[in-house]
Amino acid sequence: MEGTSGSSVPGLSSLTNTLHSLSINNSSNNSNTSQPSSSANGTQSQTNGSSGAAGSAAGGASASSSIIPIISRTEQKKAKAVSDAIDKSLRADKERLQKERGAKLLILGPSETGKTTVLKQLKLLYGRKGLDAERQTYRRVVHLNIMKAIQSLCYGLQRANIPLEHAENIAHLETVMRLEATLKRYSITSIGFTNPAIPRKITDAKAETDMFLDMVPAIRALWADGGIQETFRTGANLNLQDSARYFLDSVDRIADLNYVPTDDDILQARVRTLAVSEHIFNIDGVTYKIFDVGGQKSLRKYWA
């Protein structure tokens, strides 16, 4: 039996070798089969990873686009303050432009209705600087107003056949009556200008003053005469200005060499407006252009 067990069985060694070889081949095949599977799994893992990354990126983009920035209360107040400042500046610019644009006014009406007097009142209130510069011109206007007034009274006295109270005043009456041509020459039709047909000279102002001062004694005597006073009371178809009494009562004051017209004198002074004059006033920051147009029929074409 020992001998039998110790001896080799025919073909057993060959069978063992064959089985061993098959076992090795099988292990090798199993190993090769598992590698593609791992590779596939790896590929799938990479794919899933890429998909996950893409999804995360897309999700992040979507999330970032839907985020609303939060502004603090302090920033809101600052933004409102800036907006209010801009609105205020725009309103101020609009008001400034409206004021610069200003307004235009036209003073219209028949003669002797006080159009120029209204303008002088505006000058006293809002344009005193310009009016003060015109005071010396108004001095001549006042002188001429007085001479025209006494001349009109003398004409009225003659037309009404009213005798003079004092015979010595006849010479004064004749002196005044001879002034008609001279007064026409010096007739002021607008402040600063005389009759446009007669050239204005620098010496004219002195000539007017001298003429007035020479006439003061006659004017004073005639105005105090009972005949002239009666003529004034009755009217006698006089072409008198409503300021005649005011100036004739003040002749001594006005005859002073240092006389400067007062505000009341300027308001009472009468000047015929024979042209369109423009005057500019600034009232409460608004510029007004005021046009004074004469009331004569020849000037009414300028009313339109």
Binding residues: 112-117, 242-243, 267-273, 292-296
Sign, CA dihedral 207-209-213-219, equals positive
Binding site listing for Mg(2+): 116, 273
Return d(Cα 86, Cα 197) in angstroms, integer.
59
Please, which contacts does 277-283 make with residues 24 or more away whose CB atoms are closer than 8 Å?
A: 277/190, 279/119, 279/122, 279/123, 279/127, 281/122, 281/126, 281/127, 282/126, 283/126
3-state secondary structure of 106: strand
Residues making up the binding site for GTP = 112-117, 242-243, 267-273, 292-296
What is the b/e burial string over 53-69, where b = at least 16 CB atoms within 10 angstroms of the residue's CB? eeeeeeeeeeeeeeeee
